[in-house]
């Protein structure tokens, strides 16, 4: 049985019908990792022994008829999600030897279903980047073209799923870090509504924007994982006390009558023409399925990237002040004084992009600049939310490209400003706290995947997934060959 | 952005740069600030009252006494420990040389 092409849904059936065992599944994926990850570089840590133990436990539960939807399903976990007893590096020298003493809430939830953890995936350092090239340990490649980046920051998770080194993975998304790598690697990823999934145990980047979410082969698999990880958590003061529906329930339902809005600014200058036409072609397909296509406007989009970077970096500068070389994290060997210990530990432990963002955050928050930058960004956050609210008065979901270009070569990542501007299609969703899924809608002339995003109303992940699933039903993905 | 501003921001962020890094960073930050300056083009004002609709945020738990994490676990990821976090001395020479200051509240 070729497990690398199986969806989680297929695996569940195969496990329950005893066509495959959890230990066989685990063994096949570990073998794939050993065979291909030298070139793909998607994992920082592979937890082979733990996976074997978890597979045996899961199989016992399956044999006893006590399987839950994810029991015996192998998964990879982004390396900024705390895993008790397993290194969580955030792809930074700063946390190179950090072993969490507790699990993130999402890990508690997944372990309560007896998943099999294959390992921890690479990412941009502290989730700051869109290429996974700022990782201190594994600069992941794109399975569709090893000369290209997988996107980021959850590039390891997306590449592992696309390359058949995990059937699904967890990522985190602060400004597009689940959706953009999903688009670059031809897989499906959803950023849930802000506060839908507990952030407890997620190493903080920008606390008002960060969300954990799944990356998988399709929307159905994402829905299955979302079912497991959502819900109120007393450990996260921002987690929402709202009902969690079965996210698979609306999948397969017709999109007839669903109103889909296309904001014209997302299809303007700077968006690659092949991407534009692939997303518009998808809109035509929705129309053919009976959906209603509406045109709309989002004038604030031109301010979205700077507003996002001002907010995110201001929060990052504050969040990252906890790394002092004393309680945990890298500690310099060359400090004479207390002050020097902190400065040298931080300067040695953080990479260039993290340092740039700390500087930008401090600039935006410092006296004399606060009103002009940080407060203005807060005002823009309100404007962006209002514009989304106005659009959602007329539609159920919004359809946009996920990225302005397909995956590029690592050399393209040397200009920070160019990299920041590449986030134009994803950041407004985080700023407004909305749910959005990215799924593949085509390939360019060179065979590189193109992603489209379906954005929904707050807490309406069910409709977002229904719409992306409807497209996937008529789409045949092309698997990469490693 | 001039070098003095980069030095000031680095000081705020407890970071240090070599002279060469400082020049490179100043150039990069100049380009980044040019991009950030786009927000100055729009005339809008932040209204803190509008953010109150997110009432579920900061929903604090009731205070319930419970055991806290064991000391060994708290110290597990610290490099230098003596059943507490150890740091270089933080007082002037008036104390004996090599004195170890313990963060007693974390013991």
For A351, the closest chain B residue by CA position comes to: B15
* Among A302, A310, A358, beta carbon nearest to B13: A358
Topology of B3-41 in CATH? Histone, subunit A (1.10.20)
| Average pLDDT for B28-41 | 97
CA atoms within 13 A on the CB side of A404: 16
Domain boundaries, chain A: 1-482
pLDDT at B103 over 50: no
Q: Do A328 and B35 touch (CB under 8 A)?
A: no
Is B71 within 8 Å of chain A by CB?
no
Residues sharing a CB contact under 8 Å with residue A430, sequence separation 6 or more, in sequence order: A173, A174, A175, A176, A191, A194, A209, A211, A308
Instruction: Give the separation between CA A419 and CA A353, rounded to whole angstroms.
Output: 11
For B70, the closest chain A residue by CA position comes to: A101
Is B40 within 8 Å of chain A by CB?
yes
Is B66 within 8 Å of chain A by CB?
no
pLDDT at A66 over 60: yes
Q: Do A417 and B35 touch (CB under 8 A)?
A: yes
What tens digit of pLDDT does each residue of A162-177 get?
999 999 999 999 999 9
A-chain residues near B34 (CB < 8 A): 417
- Virtual torsion, Cα A97, A207, A150, A50, nearest 10 deg: 40
* Among A237, A327, A343, beta carbon nearest to B85: A327
What tens digit of pLDDT does each residue of A268-282 get?
999 999 999 999 999
Is A459 within 8 Å of chain B by CB?
no
What tens digit of pLDDT does each residue of A132-151 get?
999 999 999 999 999 999 99
β-strand pairing of A168-173 with A74-78: parallel
Q: How far is CA A373 from CA A363, A460, B9, B31, in A?
A: 9, 32, 15, 15
pLDDT at B1 over 60: yes
pLDDT at B56 over 60: no
| Average pLDDT for A172-200 | 98
Let me know: does A150 contact A132? Beta carbons within 8 Å: yes
What tens digit of pLDDT does each residue of A92-114 get?
999 999 999 999 999 999 999 99
What tens digit of pLDDT does each residue of A12-56 get?
999 999 999 999 999 999 999 999 999 999 999 999 999 999 999
Compute CA B2 distance to the chain's CA centroid, rounded to the nearest angstrom: 23
What tens digit of pLDDT does each residue of A359-414 get?
999 999 998 999 999 999 999 999 999 999 999 999 999 999 999 999 999 999 99
Q: Which of A103, A193, A317, A327 to mutate to test the interface with B (most CBs of B within 10 A)?
A: A327
What pLDDT sits at residue B96? 54
Predicted confidence band of residue B55 (pLDDT cuts 50, 70, 90): low
Domain boundaries, chain B: 3-41, 67-107
What pLDDT sits at residue B105? 38
β-strand pairing of A188-191 with A397-401: unpaired
Topology of A1-482 in CATH? Amidase signature (AS) enzymes (3.90.1300)
For B28, the closest chain A residue by CA position comes to: A416
What pLDDT sits at residue A96? 98
Query: Of A224, A204, A175, which is closest to residue A71 (Cα–Cα)?
Result: A224
3-state secondary structure chain A: CCHHHCCHHHHHHHHHCCCCCHHHHHHHHHHHHHHHHHHHCCEEEECHHHHHHHHHHHHHHHHCCCCCCCCCCEEEEECCECECCECCCCCCHHHCCCCCCCCCHHHHHHHHCCCEEEEEECCCHHHCCCCCCCCCCCCCCECCECCCCCCCCCHHHHHHHHCCCCCEEEEEECCCCCHHHHHHCCCEEEECCCCCECCCCECCCCCCCCEEEEEECCHHHHHHHHHHHECCCCCCCCCCCCCCCCCCCCCCCCCCCCEEEEEHHHHCCCCCHHHHHHHHHHHHHHHHCCCEEEEECCCCHHHHHHHHHHHHHHHHHHHHHHCCCCCCCCCCCCCCCHHHHHHHHHHHHCCHHHHHHHHHHHHHHCCCCCHHHHHHHHHHHHHHHHHHHHHHCCCCEEEEECCCCCCCCHHHHHCHHHHHHCCCCCHHHHHHCCCEEEEEEEECCCCCEEEEEEEECCCCHHHHHHHHHHHHHCCCCCCCCC
pLDDT at A81 over 50: yes
For A306, the closest chain B residue by CA position comes to: B36
What pLDDT sits at residue B92? 58
What tens digit of pLDDT does each residue of A318-341 get?
999 999 999 999 999 989 899 999
Catalytic residues of A: 78, 153, 177
What tens digit of pLDDT does each residue of A418-443 get?
999 999 999 999 999 999 999 999 99
What pLDDT sits at residue B104? 37
What pLDDT sits at residue B50? 82
Buried b / exposed e along B54-92 (16+ C-beta atoms within 10 A): eeebeeeeeeeeeeeeeeeebbebbbeeeebbbbbbeee
What pLDDT sits at residue A261? 98
Residues sharing a CB contact under 8 Å with residue B24, sequence separation 6 or more, in sequence order: none
Predicted confidence band of residue B51 (pLDDT cuts 50, 70, 90): confident
Q: What is the ipTM of this complex?
A: 0.94
Predicted confidence band of residue B57 (pLDDT cuts 50, 70, 90): low
What pLDDT sits at residue B60? 72
Q: How many Cβ atoms from other residues are within 10 Å of residue A161's Cβ?
A: 33
What pLDDT sits at residue B97? 55
pLDDT at B106 over 80: no
Least confident span in A282-286, A462-466, B45-49: B45-49
Q: How many Cβ atoms from other residues are within 10 Å of residue B7's Cβ?
A: 16
Query: Of A52, A432, A471, which is closest to residue A283 (Cα–Cα)?
Result: A471
What tens digit of pLDDT does each residue of A236-277 get?
989 999 999 999 999 999 999 999 999 999 999 999 999 999
| Average pLDDT for B69-89 | 90
Please tell me chain B's helix, strand, coil percentages from 3-state DSSP, rounded to the nearest 5: 45, 5, 50
pLDDT at A184 over 50: yes
β-strand pairing of A116-121 with A74-78: parallel
Q: Do B15 and A346 touch (CB under 8 A)?
A: yes
Is B58 within 8 Å of chain A by CB?
yes
């Amino acid at each position: 049985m070729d497990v690398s092409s199986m969806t989680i849904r297929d695996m569940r059936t195969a496990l329950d019908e005893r066509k495959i065992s959890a230990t066989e599944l685990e063994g096949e994926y570990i073998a794939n990792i050993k065979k291909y990850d030298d070139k793909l570089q998607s994992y920082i840590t592979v937890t082979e022994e733990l996976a074997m133990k978890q597979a045996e436990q899961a199989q016992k539960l399956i044999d006893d008829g006590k399987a839950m939807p994810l029991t015996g399903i192998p998964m990879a976990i982004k390396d900024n999600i705390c895993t008790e007893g397993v290194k969580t590096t955030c792809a930074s020298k700063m946390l190179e030897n950090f072993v969490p003493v507790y699990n993130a809430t999402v890990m508690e939830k997944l372990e309560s279903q007896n998943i099999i953890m294959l390992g921890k995936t690479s990412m941009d350092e502290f989730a700051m980047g869109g290429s996974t090239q700022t990782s201190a340990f594994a600069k992941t490649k794109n399975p569709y073209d090893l000369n290209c980046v997988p996107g980021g920051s959850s590039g390891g998770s997306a590449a592992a799923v696309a390359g058949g080194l995990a059937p699904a993975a967890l990522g985190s998304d602060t400004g597009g870090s689940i959706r953009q790598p999903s688009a670059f690697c031809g897989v499906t990823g959803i950023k849930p509504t802000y506060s839908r999934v507990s952030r407890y145990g997620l190493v903080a980047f920008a606390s008002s924007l960060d969300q954990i979410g799944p990356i998988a082969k399709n929307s159905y698999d994402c829905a299955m994982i979302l079912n497991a990880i959502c819900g109120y958590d007393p450990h996260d003061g921002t987690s929402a006390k709202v009902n969690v529906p079965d996210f698979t329930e609306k999948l397969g339902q017709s999109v007839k009558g669903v109103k889909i809005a296309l904001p014209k600014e997302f299809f303007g200058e700077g968006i690659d023409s092949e991407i534009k036409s692939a997303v518009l072609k998808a809109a035509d397909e929705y129309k053919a399925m009976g959906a209603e296509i509406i045109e709309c406007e989002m004038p604030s989009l031109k301010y979205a990237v700077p507003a996002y970077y001002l907010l995110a970096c201001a929060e990052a500068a504050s969040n990252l002040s906890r790394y002092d070389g004393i309680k945990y994290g890298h500690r310099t060997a060359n400090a004479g004084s207390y002050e020097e210990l902190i400065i040298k530990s931080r300067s040695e432990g953080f990479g260039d992009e993290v340092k740039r963002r700390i500087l930008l955050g401090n600039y935006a928050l410092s006296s004399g600049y606060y009103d002009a930058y940080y407060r203005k960004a807060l005002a823009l956050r309100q404007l962006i939310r209002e514009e989304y609210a106005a659009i959602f008065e007329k539609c159920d979901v919004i359809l946009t490209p996920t990225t302005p270009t397909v995956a590029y070569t690592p050399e393209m990542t040397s200009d920070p400003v160019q990299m920041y501007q590449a986030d134009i299609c994803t950041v407004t969703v985080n700023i407004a706290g909305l749910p959005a899924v990215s799924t593949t809608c085509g390939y360019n002339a060179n065979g590189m995947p193109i992603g489209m995003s379906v954005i929904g109303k707050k807490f309406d992940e069910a409709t977002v997934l229904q719409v992306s699933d409807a497209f996937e039903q008529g789409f045949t993905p092309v698997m990469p060959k490693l | 952005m001039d070098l003095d501003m980069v030095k000031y921001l680095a000081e705020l962020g407890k970071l240090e740069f070599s002279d060469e890094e400082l020049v490179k960073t100043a150039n990069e930050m100049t380009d980044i600030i040019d991009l950030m300056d786009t927000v100055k083009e729009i005339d809008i004002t932040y209204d803190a009252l509008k953010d109150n609709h997110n009432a579920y945020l900061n929903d604090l738990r009731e205070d319930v006494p419970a055991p806290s994490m064991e000391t060994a676990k708290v110290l597990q990821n610290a490099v230098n420990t003596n059943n507490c976090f150890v740091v270089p001395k933080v007082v002037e020479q008036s104390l004996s040389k090599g004195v170890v200051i313990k963060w007693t509240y974390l013991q």
